[in-house]
Structure 1
Amino acid sequence: MSPKILISIILILSQFFWGDCGSSRPLVPALYVFGDSLFDGGNNNWLPTLAKANYPPYGQNFPKGQSTGRFTNGKLVVDFIAEYLGLPYPPPYVMPSWLRPNTLMGYNYASGACGILPETGKDVGWCLSLDEQMRLFERSIRKHLSPKLSSVSQHLAKSIFIFSTGNNDYLGNYFGKSSNTRQRYDPQQFTQLLIDALSLNLQKLYKLGARKVVVFELGPLGCLKSILRHSKPNGRCDENVNQIVLNFNSQLSLMLKNLTSTLENSHFILGHAYWLGYDAIINPGSHGLSDSRNPCCKTLGNGTPTCIPVIPEVPLLQPCSNANQHFFWDDVHPSEAINSVIASTCITGSSVCLPLNIQQLVQV
């Protein structure tokens, strides 16, 4: 490969993954991102999995209209938060090392289809479980931080860590058609299994140096079409599934409060995304939405939740023209409009990220 072609590839990829930092100094040293497809910034592009979003119409509203691997039409919640912090969008860590920016400003380890448990998501290919993401973060400390920083501990203590995980442990694992997990665990046992595993990873993160951690709760999974297809509830959402989700979220809240009270100088923040999402689905008009049930892009509708690739010659495959008036971009993932509302409320509001919003978390 000629140097000219190599430089061109790097410049193109930098447009995909990096935001405009502007000239002001970032509010924190770095943003580190963990979780699933709600936060995946392109890691699955480089993994042998069916869970991918690196093709049109994904990214049609992202800068330059690029399909970067984000499972939405535009920006993710973490992209908006990175912009507020004055940081570039954290690049996906699993991209080839010769393409990956050697940055001190954070990486994205999130992986679509995966979850807290190692087996979650592996039925559609290889994705990064939370344990694997943590191992990559440790590698980042060794390879990218330690050689360059005089105080890695100070860097990590001031940085922000953000998680969205557990959704696929229910969607693709516990409620999955081919899974036998429900035969081995009742809902309460399974919730406790997830909470315990997540707690261990958060404690490990603390030992590595993290002090400011935001963990988003599960969304209203009972309102997703992949759940509704086989549960056939009478209402618009399967409230039995949503009750299981609420129980998880309640246990997550207690766990984070316990970590904050027992781990010195730590701040474990809960992202209350459930009720905002649920209300937007049930009362779309009050949130400026025209459709809270149907995806904007065309999906197969047979349990495959992602968009069918756009073929210019086939008009029926074109996504809707008003994507940001839809709650759902595809069958599972929210549109950029919903991501923007969640992010902005988490940054400066008092109803999503508690007990501190991002603005307050930066200052402690």
Structure 2
Amino acid sequence: MERSDSVGVAIGKRAGRSEWRIRLGMQKVCSLRVQFAAVNVVRVGGSDVRVVNGLLWFTFDDNIWKAGTAALGNGQFGNILQDASHMLKSFMRLKATFGRRETNKRTWGKWVAEIRDPNRGARLWLGTFNTSTETALAYDEAARKLYGSSTKLNLPDDHHHRSSSLSSANSTSSISLLAACAGRQAEARAFFVFGDSLVDNGNNDYLATTARADSYPYGIDYPTHRPTGRFSNGLNIPDLISEQIGSEPTLPYLSPQLTGQNLLVGANFASAGIGILNDTGIQFLNIIRIYKQLEYFQQYQTRVSALVGPEQAQRLVNEALILITLGGNDFVNNYYLLPFSARSRQFSLPDYVVYLISEYRKVLERLYELGARKVLVTGTGPLGCVPAELALHSRNGECAVELQRAASLFNPQLVDMINSLNSQFGSDAFVAANAYEMNMDFVSDPQAYGFTTSKIACCGQGPYNGLGLCTRASNLCPNRDLYAFWDAFHPSEKGNRLIVENILTGDEKYMYPMNLSTILALDSRT
């Protein structure tokens, strides 16, 4: 919920975000994120509402809000609701795949259109069409919105004038999900995060543990320029996913601010240092191990049920996006922590990986039991290539062989296990994110992504700045965007952005069986 003091329509980018928010009217409003497969202009009460970058934002003034919540079937709000459903359903059937920025005819006889967003560099799916003319018109309309009226178009202006009446009729139906907005105060999809330091938003700041990122220069590029508990110079992977789904960043579950309406945004349960196994990270003392995170998730649902009722709480969880990142610490901070660790004496590496996968399956099954239905599961990155491992094991900058072998064994078995789980539950509830390939793209060719190095951490000490965490006494690079790694283990914000770009739009090399854009476009909430 937010307030707007302006009258009419205000269109602008949110600070630090790539999405557009549209405001209509004034005073108390219900903000609504809607994922679209096209760029349109619609009319609501005589005002333009623009669908840009695939996201549509509505707000309603007090009068419409009261009328709508009082009687959905009557008056202006009811008419909007009635008109909304038709176009939404057709849009949601479109599969959000990404390809060339031109119009094409696919083998199944439909025409498709895609365009590149100049602000984000991502390709936007505009839809499927019956004729090449319809496709060209859709592309041209999107091009004008994104590039301006002087951009080169496929068709001359007279085609656009002749099609305006049809376009207007279709666009009027593009309003959607308003019924859900009336049913509860905020429609933005909830987001939940589980895992380790790659995704921890600050839970460990509330714990007596050595696994903390609560001092400068952590957070040096965060909007507040202060440490937040994130193991990053700025935003981490959950923050950047929140941007893409039109949500505020998830608060740590242990944060005192996670109360009331903030609960509806979701929560971050992650804790630096943890792994799949309970004995992983024991040297960090007090951390939130994965089954405790799941216990907190169950506790969260009880709190939300008290706020909005059991039915709405269950719906919120079922429709939520969930990210879980585990596995790396089970090698770095367990199996390979000491030359003769307890786990390395108990298992050969292949047997240890099999054991990890079997234990991870139990975690994901429990997550499903707790209502998770849209879960991104990341594999391990290139464990042997992080500055910490280079500092310990590398003479000439080559990746540590044993840790790379561990990742090469773990990740394929994780994908197989996810496929098995999806077959077991009869749906694609779990999606495998290939963090290894996402990282290796810029680790193996940093210059292609604007980095000067992927071996030396921006902040640290010792060889490759890879010994220990980042502190006030550490070496600190002046330009974090030139470094793939922020500290000994964690990517820089720029590195995280590259990872999330693949989560959002990557093909099956990176995301299987679908990417995040497809998940959003195929949202079944209608």
TM-score (norm 1): 0.87
- Answering whether residue 324 of structure 2 is matched by residue 177 of structure 1, we say no
- Answering whether residue 200 of structure 2 is matched by residue 40 of structure 1, we say yes
User: Where do 1:85-100 residues align within 5 Å?
Assistant: 85-96=245-256, 99-100=257-258
The residue number in structure 1 matching 2:483 is 326
Q: Quote the offset at 1:230 in angstroms.
A: 4.2
User: Where do 1:15-26 residues align within 5 Å?
Assistant: 24-26=31-33
- Name the larger-Rg structure: 2
8 Å Cα contact 1:299/1:330 also seen in 2: no
Superimposed CA distance per residue, residues 130-152 of structure 1 (whole angstroms, 9 cap, x where no aligned partner): 11111110110112235423333
Distance 1:292 1:232 in 2: 14
1:341 aligns with one of 498, 503, 523: 498
The residue number in structure 2 matching 1:203 is 365
Q: Relative to 1, partners in 2 of residues 1:271 and 1:37: Cα closer, same or farther, differing over 3 Å?
A: same
Q: Aligned-residue CA RMSD in angstroms? A: 2.3
Q: Quote the offset at 1:225 in angstroms.
A: 3.5
Superimposed CA distance per residue, residues 62-117 of structure 1 (whole angstroms, 9 cap, x where no aligned partner): 11212101001011111111011111111000234xx3333112100011111111
2:283 aligns with one of 123, 128, 131: 123
8 Å Cα contact 2:203/2:269 also seen in 1: yes
Superimposed CA distance per residue, residues 246-298 of structure 1 (whole angstroms, 9 cap, x where no aligned partner): 11000100011111111034421111111231231221111211011111113
Q: Quote the offset at 1:201 in angstroms.
A: 1.3
User: Where do 1:1-364 residues align within 5 Å?
Assistant: 24-26=31-33, 28-96=188-256, 99-102=257-260, 103-145=263-305, 147-149=307-309, 150-177=311-338, 179-232=341-394, 236-299=398-461, 304-309=467-472, 317=474, 319-350=476-507, 351-362=509-520, 363-364=522-523
Indicate the percent of aligned positions where both proteins have the same amino acid.
31
Q: Quote the offset at 1:299 in angstroms.
A: 3.3
Superimposed CA distance per residue, residues 201-227 of structure 1 (whole angstroms, 9 cap, x where no aligned partner): 111111111110000110000112433
Letter in 2 for 1:155: L
Distance 2:349 2:511 in 1: 26
Distance 1:307 1:21 in 2: 35
Distance 1:48 1:19 in 2: 37
8 Å Cα contact 1:116/1:131 also seen in 2: no
Q: Relative to 1, partners in 2 of residues 1:167 and 1:188: Cα closer, same or farther, differing over 3 Å?
A: same
Q: Relative to 1, partners in 2 of residues 1:140 and 1:334: Cα closer, same or farther, differing over 3 Å?
A: same
Distance 1:113 1:322 in 2: 27
Task: State the secondary structure of the residue aligned to 2:308.
Answer: coil
By percentage of residues, which structure has more strand? 2
Superimposed CA distance per residue, residues 119-165 of structure 1 (whole angstroms, 9 cap, x where no aligned partner): 11121221111111111101101122354233333222211110111
- Name the stretch that deviates more: 34-43 or 205-214: 205-214
8 Å Cα contact 2:460/2:468 also seen in 1: no
Distance 1:299 1:156 in 2: 43
8 Å Cα contact 1:104/1:145 also seen in 2: no
8 Å Cα contact 1:88/1:105 also seen in 2: yes
Task: State the secondary structure of the residue aligned to 2:485.
Answer: coil
Q: Quote the offset at 1:20 in angstroms.
A: 9.9
The residue number in structure 1 matching 2:105 is none
Paired residues in the alignment total: 339
8 Å Cα contact 2:391/2:462 also seen in 1: no
